[in-house]
Amino acid sequence: MISCLCDELHKHYYVTEKYKESVFNREKIRATDLGNDVAIPHGNEKEILQSKILIATLKNPIIWNHYKIQIVFMIAMSIKQPQMTKNTLKDLYSVMDNKQAMKVLLEAKDAKDIIHYLQA
């Protein structure tokens, strides 16, 4: 899961080639599963070229490290835009804390449904 998301970020020039390694290193330090069906993997800010958050929803939950996970928010936020990063992460945490929002994300049929919901 992590590898695929990192590859996608790199393929579209959002992160450097070293970003994936930094995400796995981060997971070794402390797993990013939050216990509410969510994981928020992220890597070294120095390897981010442009801010982006990828969302992956899983049909069936997996055990990430300690907790069951069904939604992964791969976070790649640049330190070059601190206010935007702060606001985006605040909004993201609001979504993660909202049971109805999480239900909508899990029930979405495709990416367009998720984007439409998050932009509303």
Contact criterion met (CB below 8 Å) for 39 and 61:
no
pLDDT at 55: 93
pLDDT at 36: 85
Burial (0-12, 13-18, 19+ Cβ within 10 Å), 20: buried
Contact criterion met (CB below 8 Å) for 34 and 65:
no
For residue 5, how many other CB atoms are within 10 A of its CB? Answer: 19
For residue range 62-81, list pLDDT tens digits in order.
Answer: 999 999 999 999 999 988 88
Distance CA 82, CA 119 (A): 21
Q: Say which CATH number the domain at 14 has.
A: 3.40.930.10
pLDDT at 117: 83
Domain membership of residue 38 as a residue range:
2-119
Number of domains into which the chain is organized: 1
pLDDT at 49: 96
| Pairing verdict, β 68-76 and 52-63 | antiparallel
CA dihedral of 45, 16, 5, 21, whole degrees rounded to 10: -70
pLDDT at 120: 72
Residues of the chain with pLDDT under 50: none
